[in-house]
Amino acid sequence: MTRISGHTSIASPCCKSPYKVVEYASMSFSAYAYWTDGAKDGGLMPNDGGLRVCRCGTAFLLRDAVHLEIEASPDTPFPPKPADADLPSVINSASSPTLEATARRNYWRYLNDVYRVHYRAHREKEEAKMDAKWRDDYFACLPFLPRVIHKLLRSKPPWDYPKPERPFTVPPYEPTTEQTQNMARLLALILNEAEQSVRADQLEIAELYRELGQFEAAADALSSCNEDHQEVTKKVISEQIGLCSAAPIRYQM
């Protein structure tokens, strides 16, 4: 469970403007659903890398702010997040490779949001078809009178009645030139250790290669990942590499 214990004061690293940030008593990184590009549905913690914009117009990372370690007053503002549509401007004016990588990571996920809309609609349609087939198969095996009664009552089959197996499908993923250029640059920054204070995430590297359609490189990167807590994500990405599928995939832990 994520619990907030208060707010502490910080100053922006550019012009030392005062802001406040949340102090957490406990943190939960769980979400309703996860995506292979790192996006989350219903996440309980921020997932933006701490990218903020100062009142002077300069983008900065919370990790680079001056932490004053004093309680913030109620009227002290939070540092605003850049609008998704403004991320290209943040990228172009980034003052460090780390900031650029963070902005490009957020932009990667933002640009994939259009695909997520099609993905959800496609999966809902496929699951509705599977449920309809499940009900039809169940009613077909009943005697005439019970079948009529169950249909009139719109009854559902018993929970343990086997559902038909259908291949898991997703809509075509066709990234734009802007998307591929952003992913390629983000990948280059990560491989060049732009974020030296953060250990390179081999899953993220594998995912970027995969969404760029470079499946052999994705498999090589994935083989370097041996973190136990990432096994579910690793399995999902591995399956998609085997299918030569570049699409972001939604899954649950």
Amino acid identity, position 182: N
Question: Rg of the chain over CA atoms, in angstroms?
Answer: 23
Q: Is this model's pTM higher than 0.85 or not?
A: yes
Task: Write out the two tokens for 163.
Answer: 């559902």
- Of the CA atoms within 13 Å of residue 248, those in its CB half-sphere come to 28
80-113 pLDDT, tens digit each: 999 999 999 999 999 999 999 999 999 999 999 9
Q: What is the reported pLDDT for 71?
A: 92
Q: What is the mean pLDDT of the chain?
A: 90
Residue 158 confidence (pLDDT): 79
What pLDDT score was predicted for residue 160?
78
CA torsion sign for 101, 228, 38, 28 is: negative
Does residue 163 carry a pLDDT above 80? no
Rounded Cα distance between 106 and 99, Å, is 11
Question: Residues near 214 by Cβ (< 8 Å), separated by ≥ 6?
Answer: none
